[in-house]
Amino acid sequence: MSKKSKPDPHSPFAALATVKAEMVAEETAKLEAEKARKEAAKARGELESRRYGPARDTSVALPPRAHARGPSDVWRPNLDEELFRAAMSGVVPLDVKTERVTPGARDEKSARPAAVSQKLRRAAAEGGPKLEHRWLGDGAVQGWRRGHEFALEVLDRFASPSESLDLHGLEPHEAALKVVEFVRSRRARKLRCVAIIHGWGRRSPDGASVLCDAVVKALCEAPAALEVDAFATAPENLGGRGAILVSLRA
């Protein structure tokens, strides 16, 4: 075995070894001093406990801090509840055994015949979808809805048509379509009296106005009949037998 060589005092690591030894000695001294201090404190505590008893907690317990009351914590009466009680003060509760009717509990089958009969009575009172009419001896014509015969007298005395429809040059089927469109649109505009000009029929072989028959037929049947209360041949100052005044439904 080779002998351990001695450290060279001139080596650069010799100074580091010296510093390390000093630091270890200093740290060891600190640890021993701390240990001695703890042992002394422990011995002193045991001595005091033997002489005066266990140490007491001298800290003062503070009372819990009172919660600051804000504006929302102030007591106020419930106005809704008070008003409800005042409104229901004289109400007597229903008997528990009483059967309550819930919405929609009505039998639809029993209600349907009543609604149908009501519609039938109304249709009968209004004369149905068709208008009655009659031809007079001088070639004039009158038509009315049942229950609205007074409209004929209004047409005879106070008729003042707001607008007119001229059917000259049209075929009968074209004239009928124009009549339906005319009365429906003018009633939608809330007009009450209009005039339909169909001509005298002087160019026809028998001297009768073919368009007049088409106008009367169109006014007496649905859908135009649903817009009309009455119609009549116009007076002489408004066209005579060449025009028809129509009273539209309100």
Q: What is the mean pLDDT of the chain?
A: 78
- Lowest-confidence region among 47-56, 164-173, 176-185: 47-56
d(CA 64, CA 146): 92
Length of the chain: 250
Which strands make up the sheet holding 132-135, listed edge to edge? 132-135, 141-144, 228-233, 243-248, 193-197, 163-166
- Determine the pLDDT at residue 1: 46
- Determine the pLDDT at residue 3: 52
pLDDT digit string (tens) for 187-199? 999 999 999 999 8
Residue 61 has pLDDT above 90, yes or no: no
H helix or E strand, kind and range, residue 80:
helix 79-87
Residues 19-26: what's their mean pLDDT? 83
Instruction: Read off the pLDDT band of 170 (50, 70, 90).
Output: very high
Between 19 and 190, the more confident residue is 190
d(CA 120, CA 77): 59
Residues 36-49: what's their mean pLDDT? 80
Across 133-142, b (16+ Cβ under 10 Å) vs e yields: beeeeeeebb
pLDDT digit string (tens) for 120-161? 566 555 555 789 999 988 889 999 998 888 889 888 888 889
Which residues, in sequence order, are CB contacts of 48 under 8 Å at separation 6+? 55
The domains of the chain, with CATH numbers, are 132-248 (3.30.1370.110)
pLDDT digit string (tens) for 84-107? 777 777 777 766 665 665 655 455
CB 218 within 8 A of CB 224: yes
